[in-house]
Amino acid sequence: MFHYFDNAATTQVRPEAAQAAVEAMTGEWGNPSSVYAFGSRAAGLVKGWRADVAGALGCLPEEVFFTSCGTESDNWAIRAAVELNRRKGKHIVTTAIEHAAVLESCKELERQGYEVTYLAPDHQGRISLQQLEEALRPDTVLVTMMLVNNELGTVLPVKEASRSIKRSGCPALLHCDAVQGFLKVPFTPKELGVDLLSISGHKIHAPKGIGALYIKKGLKVSPLIRGGGQESGLRSGTEATGQIAALAAAARLGKETMDADLAHMAALREETARRLTEQVPGLKILAPEGAPHILAVTMPGYKSEVVVRYLSDRGVYLSSGSACHKGKPSHVFAALKLPKPELDGALRISFSADTDGEDVDALVEALSQAQKELFTSLS
Ligand code: PLP
């Protein structure tokens, strides 16, 4: 028995999603490219699953391209956008708090001669539109901005960015990493005004190893992987039917229960923030406003890794920042320019629809014990 507060790192696969994968792998396991009935039935299923994901996203099925993960979607989107605009300029705008999948793609483009402007957040992780407007230039070919930050939960002004790009008259395409935003804040790609948008299965109770890229209808992106012509010729490779089936099931069910799930998580986030502020002296909320599933806090004077290990020994799992950092200080918390004790003590608590009041009781109890015991052992 443990209490899981690391849903921004990964989520438990829903039984319905796992069941859909089992059926796709052991029942209708044909190759969707095969011409006989067993193959064409699998192709028909993939078509239906694509429509399910499109339905949850609020776009056309032909705008959904399956990938292996959010990282692949981000890499592909960024590469495709600069390739499409290669004659129009070499300037990119992004934010300093993007996921490594975006930042590393931008760094690679810098090595290839692109200039990248990194928009800095304020001390609560907010990105100002004014900064973006000042950064846009006639040669800006790509703006890549996440919808929800994975460590702070802050919601970035993607919709407003789209309007600013249009007003500025620059040729920039807009990519949005919506890996933490999908089914956590209401949106459709059209409402956001984006050209490309990434999602990932394992953040929405589907398995790891499946993601998707939304590509706006009419955008002529070049293939990521060449071969047998799957995914409309843009990402070849035999479809991962088990994972796709599971993603479709998780997306469909997640969309059905989204309003109730968001209300549940928002209430838990608020209760957790209130109780932690009251019962753990010194604890501070880092980003008070944001998506309902992420609450970033800090315990100044405590090392977050030590707190994470202390809690883990008591069956409470949370993270000291993005799981992708592997012990390196988080660039997101660093970008907030916090005083060092606040930076060192930063923790991420992340909820899902499955988190309940007992989990919150255990978290509050364990953090309040950590505050007392670790202080004693440090002093
Ligand atoms: N983008 C964001 C905002 C994320 O939080 C993550 C995962 O942590 C990714 C991209 C990468 O997604 P995946 O793990 O599916 O590659």
Asked whether residue 61 falls in the same domain as residue 201, the answer is yes
Q: For position 126, what pLDDT does the model report?
A: 95
Question: Given 59, 69, 176, 324, which residue is catalytic?
Answer: 324
Most ligand 1 atoms within 8 A of CB, residue of 179, 293, 324 to mutate: 179
Asked whether residue 233 falls in the same domain as residue 319, the answer is no
Most ligand 1 atoms within 8 A of CB, residue of 95, 144, 150, 202 to mutate: 150
Asked whether residue 237 falls in the same domain as residue 271, the answer is no
Asked whether residue 315 falls in the same domain as residue 295, the answer is yes
Asked whether residue 245 falls in the same domain as residue 263, the answer is no
Q: For position 326, what pLDDT does the model report?
A: 59
Q: Whose CA is nearest to atom 12 of ligand 1?
A: 70
Q: For position 2, what pLDDT does the model report?
A: 97
Asked whether residue 290 falls in the same domain as residue 166, the answer is no
CATH code assigned at 318: 3.90.1150.10
Q: For position 321, what pLDDT does the model report?
A: 62
Q: How far apart are alpha carbons 250 and 270 in whole angstroms?
A: 26
pTM recorded for the entire structure? 0.97
Q: Whose CA is nearest to atom 9 of ligand 1?
A: 70
Q: How far apart are alpha carbons 128 and 141 in whole angstroms?
A: 20
Owner of token pair 């948008």: 197
The structural domain count of the chain equals 2
Asked whether residue 93 falls in the same domain as residue 103, the answer is yes
CB 96 within 8 A of CB 64: no
Asked whether residue 232 falls in the same domain as residue 266, the answer is no
CB 46 within 8 A of CB 232: no
Asked whether residue 52 falls in the same domain as residue 161, the answer is yes
- Domain stops at, among 240, 256, 272: 256
Distance (Å) from CA 71 to ligand 1 centroid: 6
User: CB-hemisphere CA count at 13 Å for 128?
Assistant: 7
Q: Which residues pair with 312 in a beta bridge?
A: none
Asked whether residue 190 falls in the same domain as residue 267, the answer is no
3-state secondary structure of 65: strand
Q: How far apart are alpha carbons 133 and 209 in whole angstroms?
A: 36
Cα 60 from chain centre: 21
Q: For position 330, what pLDDT does the model report?
A: 85
- Domain stops at, among 256, 289, 307: 256
Query: What are 177's two structure tokens?
Result: 């990493």
Q: Whose CA is nearest to atom 13 of ligand 1?
A: 70
Q: How far apart are alpha carbons 73 and 190 in whole angstroms?
A: 18
Distance (Å) from CA 324 to ligand 1 centroid: 9
Ligand 1 pocket by Cβ (under 6 Å)? 69-71, 74, 99, 101, 146, 150, 177, 179-180, 200, 202, 211, 324
CATH code assigned at 205: 3.40.640.10
Q: For position 377, what pLDDT does the model report?
A: 58
Domain that holds residue 121: 15-256
Asked whether residue 216 falls in the same domain as residue 341, the answer is no
- Domain stops at, among 236, 256, 276: 256
List the Cα angle 122/320/187 in 5-degree steps: 55
Distance (Å) from CA 70 to ligand 1 centroid: 5
Q: For position 94, what pLDDT does the model report?
A: 98
Asked whether residue 197 falls in the same domain as residue 311, the answer is no
Task: Please list the ranges in the chain whose pLDDT falls under 50.
Answer: 322, 324
Tell me, yes or no, if 59 is annotated catalytic.
no
Residues in the chain: 379
Residue 14's nearest CA partner among 210, 201, 183, 200 is 201
Distance (Å) from CA 224 to ligand 1 centroid: 19
Distance (Å) from CA 164 to ligand 1 centroid: 26
